[in-house]
Chains A and B, each alone.
Chain A
Amino acid sequence: MRVLMFGWEFPPHISGGLGTACYGLTRGMSVVPGMDILFVVPKAYGDEDQSRMRVIGAGDVTLDIRKVKEHQFLNDLSYIEINSNLVPYTSAEEYEELVNKAEHSGKRLVETTMGGKLNFTGSYGKNLYEEIANYGLVAGEIALKEEFDIIHSHDWLTYPAGIAAKRASGKPLVIHVHATDFDRSGGKVNPTVFEIEKTGMELADKIIAVSNLTRNTVIEKYGIHPDKVVTVYNAVDPISDYEKLQLKRGITDKVVTFLGRVTLQKGPEYFVQAAYKVLQKMDNVRFVMAGSGELLEKMIQWTAALGISDRFHYTGFLKGDDVFRMFSISDVYVMPSVSEPFGISPLEAMQSNVPSIISNQSGVAEILNYAIKVDFWDVDALADAIYGLVNYPALSEMFKKHGVAEVNEMKWENSGKKVHAIYKEFVQ
């Protein structure tokens, strides 16, 4: 079975969870015999892991403008030519950096090159909409050139590409919802993004959601028939060399960690409130907020005003091995997300032997047994859970004992097999 897959990024060139998830899933799928994946990204760097699949960049594809016009791939896509700043799957720093770069270079990205190719940045810059549209253009071209049985698009950035490929080839389209704009925006949905998402969902033959939570959003907010939407959970790769990443502890206090973007979606303010409550009762505990984002300054001011700054620390944005180093000195990991389609970081915490408290409003809560689950707004419950994990060792011992095993059961191969089963509904 040949799959034409559209993504926005691919390791090692990733800026967020989407690329990691796509990589994990495709590798998981590649264990299915006869599975042949062509993975398209806007920009390929050439150093992607191509052992299990072929990765090509849209910027390397020659366009035949006549054909493009003939096939009218982009009839539905005219509305996306609006300029606006969006930040899906990226950190605030990186975004800022990107925008600055784009401003300085003053590039126009629609121009084709001499060889009839389009230029792509493959990032989330100022000309995002334009790039999405161009990606669709190339997708149609690829669909005409390549042989495949089914199309698979990851998240809204690639829906137009998936639609274009479907139009050009007549092959079935599966779209994969890793997040919706309802999750990213905290309710203030961008109408353009919403339109793209909704059109993609409507034109898709099947929709894969990363959790039942996301599946419900797709059904309720986008009006999609439940039969068309299936849940396939994400997984996590085992960590290697965790021993090497262990930091030495300089303090005897317990460490409670929040790790993620400091934005509305992640619920940092609930973490601060819970910290305050716990600190009223005990003092041999410290809180760490690891990450950055638009609410960071507010949080710093707030913890100062509450008078807990001596027990509440900020590390700034952490990535790669630093994440695991942070976990190595943590006793509790807290993810109080307001809306989290899946949420891979508690799994990483559990792999690192750190007991986790997660919000019921996260997709990962549906599959974890060895984690404490609370509603994000229930600060009392959150504070109580933190206090319990820090003060009653039997609880954290149990989580350490069973948590790793539970997470290790979540394999990408299983997700891959489920996706394959979905394909088989359409392809014999």
Chain B
Amino acid sequence: MRTICLYFQVHQPFRFRKYRFFDIGNDHYYYDDYSNESILHKVAQKCYLPANELMLDLIKKHKGRFKIAYSISGIAMEQFRLYAPEVLESFKKLADTGKVEFLSETYAHSLSSLKGREEFERQVRAHDQLIKKHFGQEPTVFRNTELIYSDEIGGMVADMGFKAMLTEGAKHVLGWKSPNYLYCNAINPKLKLLLKNFKLSDDIAFRFSNKGWPEYPLTAEKYVDWLNQTPDNEEVINLFMDYETFGEHQWKETGIFDFLEALPKSVFKNSPFTFSTPSEVAKKLQVVSAVNVPNPISWADEERDLTAWLGNEMQNEAFNKLYSLGEKVHESGDEGIKQDYAYLQVSDHFYYMSTKFFSDGEVHSYFNPYDTPYEAFINYMNVLSDFEIRVNAAAHSNVDDDVARLSKIIKEKDEVLEKLENRLSARKKPATPKPTAATKKSTTAKTTASSKKRPTGKKS
């Protein structure tokens, strides 16, 4: 069997407003509603809505032989709900065809997989619930933020019960091996790995409209030719890309939608390839070998590593500072704080702080609302400073609550004691004859001393 696996990443961050240091402690609203809403509207009009419509047409037209997969971040779904519910509806329609698979990921499109299990699992569960709620699916395939993967992360994902995971077919990991087979995790071979064919993916995602590219213009026929040129025994071509490729990164005018429309037809007509969803690939194909990925990889930049998010001092500082608050955040039990914690984790914030664009520019600056990485960092740290104050205040108020509860108990006990004491002294009173001034003093002193002894003895 030879098959194509098409997968698209759908994500939009909640961008921060310009948050100055004098806002710290005074204003707890961090988001730039205007740009979030207007960007989402723009992308919805240019990409999500027309692309979804085309996908739906293609699925219907090819009677179920055309299949695709999405991962939609929880943050993106939330924005659809807020700003463009029609987008969510159109994804639901796609889900209803039964030919579209929705993958699991972290709710906040976060880098939490690098910070241990707890927060990571929490977010994956939250995301899966959202997928279930909107699309009625229970994901079995996992896709980590920006295809970040390592042996360890894979092991963690396997433990959580996922059958397969997607990642980059990074050259420095694969060496001479081809990404066009099914692989498995080095720690737990039960977890299957689908590796992105970055050459063929990036031909569409990055080079499609580049007039300086020798292959320009790219047609569906030419592309299918390339697919046919891959060795016959290679089983799967994993084409993973940003969904925004269609209409946003590559504008409609470049002919990207026409290309997409012509592709399945051309594939069915001129090649032996079929289309499969990731879970089908994982089920049908045999694993050829394990891949060793001791250090995390991703699909970003030439290096295919984490340096776009965690490549300089600022990024590491912000990242570590944020996650150091995790425990307190969840102890606080405050929903508002938990939500902001999720929004603060969105990987884009760290991406904005990258200094890599000094050399390896365009892609970075294209997505960046900040003029410089320093602005991004300072803004983020200002927000984080305010957030920290809130988290600490919530933690304190928890302690205060405890103290109040305990002192109330003590107070109640004291009251009981006092009553008993009064009853005690009331009984004794009639028995004592009316004393002189001197004897009265000594007897009252005695009774209080003796009555005090008992409760203290009881307590200990």
Contact = CB atoms under 8 A, between A and B. Distances in A.
Which of the listed residues A278, A380, A398, A401 has the most CB atoms from chain B within 10 Å of its own CB?
A: A398
A395 B374 contact: yes
A325 interface: no
B24 interface: yes
Q: Would you call the interface of chain B mostly helix, strand, loop, or mixed? A: helix
Interface in A369-428: 369, 372-373, 380-381, 383-385, 387-388, 391-395, 397-398, 401
A388 B318 contact: no
Contacts of B29: none
A372 B22 contact: no
Given A388-B21, A388-B382, A401 B313 contact: yes
Contact of A383 (B21, B316, B372, B381): B21
A380 B20 contact: yes
B378 A388 contact: yes
A398 B372 CA distance: 14
Q: Would you call the interface of chain A mostly helix, strand, loop, or mixed? A: helix
A401 B375 CA distance: 18
B223 to A, nearest CB: 39
B113 interface: no
B372 A373 contact: yes
Interface in B354-379: 355, 358, 371-372, 374-375, 377-379
Interface string B14-36: 00000011101000000000000
A394 B318 contact: yes
A385 B385 CA distance: 15
Contacts of A372: 372, 374-375, 378
A113 interface: no
A416 B168 CA distance: 47
A395 B20 contact: no
Contacts of B72: none
A379 to B, nearest CB: 11
A391 B313 contact: no
A277 interface: yes
B382 A384 contact: yes
Interface in B326-368: 355, 358
B21 A369 contact: no
A348 B265 CA distance: 64
A280 interface: yes
Nearest to B385: A391
A373 B378 CA distance: 13
Contacts of A398: 312-314, 355
B374 A397 contact: no
Contacts of B24: 281
A388 B314 CA distance: 11
A395 B378 CA distance: 8
B303 interface: no
Given A394-B316, A395-B314, A397-B313, A369 B22 contact: no
B378 A384 contact: yes
Contacts of A281: 21-22, 24
Contacts of B202: none
Interface in A262-312: 277-278, 280-281
B317 interface: yes
B22 A395 contact: no
Contacts of B381: 388, 391-392
Given A384-B20, A394-B316, 5 more contacts: A369-B355, A380-B20, A384-B382, A388-B377, A394-B318
Closest A-B pairs by Cβ, 6 of them: A394-B317, A388-B378, A387-B21, A398-B313, A394-B313, A392-B381
Interface of B: 20-22, 24, 312-314, 316-318, 355, 358, 371-372, 374-375, 377-379, 381-382, 385
